[in-house]
Chain A
């Protein structure tokens, strides 16, 4: 299938096929695209002599697989991008798309393939994105960590963000003729957008930032600047301590009471709370065995497996991938899951694959327990995992899942959503720091806790 794309020499003339979608882009995006195209043209010129080589042995290069693939990849990936553009316009001009692809050859590694139907998920961000404006070095560093998925959990990202903001706040000076309570937020906004550009914001970060904004606006105008900054940092510390660390500890304790001696617990991927809870129960002397179910693309369960089986009190573990789930479920007493976020209809937004585990457990009558701090609650309602999601960038997949080659066939797209949504009917109980609650009662919690607690 990919052969024609190889055979056709690049004809940069048809490039404007990309134009219609440009209208729908924002200014920044348009400029970015222009810059890329310029760079692409230049690179295409350089690539020309090279381009002859793969064209000479097209079929062979495809079938060879892994070794040849990296070379073939550059011209392939951009085709997809153009393909999206085309899909929205006229689709018959297949050759046009191919030509445009050739023109864009150079920005290949940086622009991952677009998607025909799930284009609204947003393009996975380019690793090592550009810094625009006055961004604090700490935030730049954090942005890189985020975009490379070096920090990826909901809790970890929230703590990292808040800690970085503490530094930003300490390094901030209020400009003359301004007050901290009014100006600090305008200083923080670009920092936040930088982080969002690195990777879409998590619900936890959103909640924490909302609380921070509130705290900033509540700062007394007459307060000495340094004192105000210290107050804010203190409040951030309290938030991390109360809503994340201590909440986690309480959840571990509560969830631990649901594990009995000799139980087999099943978990999916890796959740920091579930991990600590299991280790703690083991330390208390309970005989637990754990089945870790894992799935591509991130294979985070491997880290969990490592931390559960190493250490002083190793837990007997079974590691399996998602397809093995039905076979294993017959031996399981309880399923424990972590969560990225919880919506007010009780739906759990968590790592892709969670919904399948929960549904399968429900069919087997195994109780499903979700561990989730109340600061992860979102006020919104979500009914499926398609309306909002995030894609895993290909470099991250390549790093975590080992050998991974993006498809070289232009009619084939891969979709790697990061999250999915588990409907509340598949969840037996949610463990929060205020107790075990049925998912139907989620909406009564934020009110009871008072959201103005940063």
Chain B
């Protein structure tokens, strides 16, 4: 069994359930790993878990939110009191806690929806981006008691905004899909922006579906509040200095491919020193007759990132206050309540970073 267990397959399997977001799926996959592991000591187990986490993140195309889950679980296992009589017993308890946490974590979204409800006024026009489970839950919760209407961006290249719009329309929420390029056009009609998140990082910034950063910039310019919703397992000990400092960044993104057309500098160059290049120009000259290069949608999406990083400076100011709504639940370990899992409620971005710093350095 241990030899055949593949953590990535298990992870993908768990993700099939629409309710589980990547960090939770990662936690569940690691729990499965413990189940299938034949480790006889704590050290073996921890290194197996670390290897599993590394495996997951190396095979996933966008490892940021997944890493947050792995980090949380591994920190929990490392800090777990070794007071069991035998190791099998300890492993069983770890598995139980992992399972309980994952099921309990599913209720976080309801709690966030409750917290966020107070921030949504009757008759609000909300702009959201792409698809986020927690935003959906919040919007549907608000729709029960208040009249809201929603603009949702198309969110290319994956087009997940359409999914949001379809779900909302089915639930009876007035909803319009707007182009990603029309955010600035629509911003003045909007009361506030509400987005989900892939991860909340140590700087207090946000990692979310690509396009969030530009929405935040436009919201800031229009003095509209920008709220982000994040479950506590999305806290990630990462400090990106810039967009290109994210683990998901790939040199393939934004790199220029070499155009094969002979026009431009090449022909000018050949005219300058013809003595050397006549043979060169002769081979190049037939090329313009070929079809002009075509760029497909797949090519575009391949050379673009999935996520971007929004610095908190953008959405925290006196003019537009902004709050990240997070809910943490009680720890399965009573002595760690104040340290690791506690109910932190609504936090400002500075609060997030202070909380994270305090949590990990304590």
Chain A interfacial positions (CB closer than 8 Å to B): 258, 334, 367, 369, 425, 428-429, 434-438, 440-441, 443-445, 447-449
Contact = CB atoms under 8 A, between A and B. Distances in A.
A196 to B, nearest CB: 32
B242 interface: yes
5 contacts: A429-B203, A434-B361, A435-B239, A437-B202, A438-B350
Contacts, number: 55
Contacts of B362: 448
Contacts of B241: 258, 334, 367, 369, 428-429
B361 A448 contact: yes
B354 A444 contact: yes
Given A429-B239, A440-B350, A435 B357 contact: yes
Nearest to B245: A258
B213 to A, nearest CB: 13
B239 A436 contact: yes
A438 B245 contact: no
Nearest to A443: B354
B360 interface: yes
Given A434-B357, A437-B202, A437-B353, 7 more contacts: A367-B242, A367-B245, A435-B239, A435-B360, A438-B239, A440-B353, A445-B357
B189 to A, nearest CB: 30
B156 interface: no
Contacts of A441: 350, 353-354, 357
Contacts of A425: 313
A240 to B, nearest CB: 21
The 3 closest A-B pairs by CB, nearest first: A436-B239, A367-B241, A434-B361
B225 interface: no
Contacts of B350: 438, 440-441
Interface string B230-271: 000000010101100100000000000000000000000000
A449 B313 CA distance: 27
A436 B241 CA distance: 10
A425 B317 CA distance: 12
Contacts of A369: 241
Interface of B: 202-204, 237, 239, 241-242, 245, 313, 350, 353-354, 357-358, 360-362
B202 A444 contact: no
Nearest to A431: B239
A437 B245 CA distance: 15
Contacts of A440: 204, 350, 353-354
Contact of A448 (B239, B313, B358): B358
A449 B361 contact: yes
A447 B355 CA distance: 12
B353 A435 contact: no
A345 to B, nearest CB: 12
Contacts of B358: 444, 447-448
A334 B239 CA distance: 14
Nearest to B249: A260
Contacts of B360: 434-435
A224 to B, nearest CB: 37
Contacts of B245: 258, 367
Nearest to A448: B361
A369 B357 CA distance: 17
A316 B242 CA distance: 24
Contacts of A438: 202-204, 239, 350, 353
Contacts of A435: 202, 237, 239, 357, 360-361
A448 B357 contact: yes
A444 B361 CA distance: 9
Nearest to A447: B358
B10 to A, nearest CB: 29
Contacts of A449: 361
Contacts of A434: 357, 360-361
Nearest to B241: A367
A425 B202 CA distance: 16
A447 to B, nearest CB: 8
Contacts of A367: 241-242, 245
Contacts of A444: 354, 357-358
Nearest to B356: A441
A265 to B, nearest CB: 12
Nearest to A437: B357
Contacts of A447: 358
Contacts of B237: 435
A60 to B, nearest CB: 58
Nearest to A429: B239
Contacts of B354: 440-441, 443-444
Contacts of A445: 357, 361
B209 to A, nearest CB: 23
Contacts of B313: 425
A379 to B, nearest CB: 16
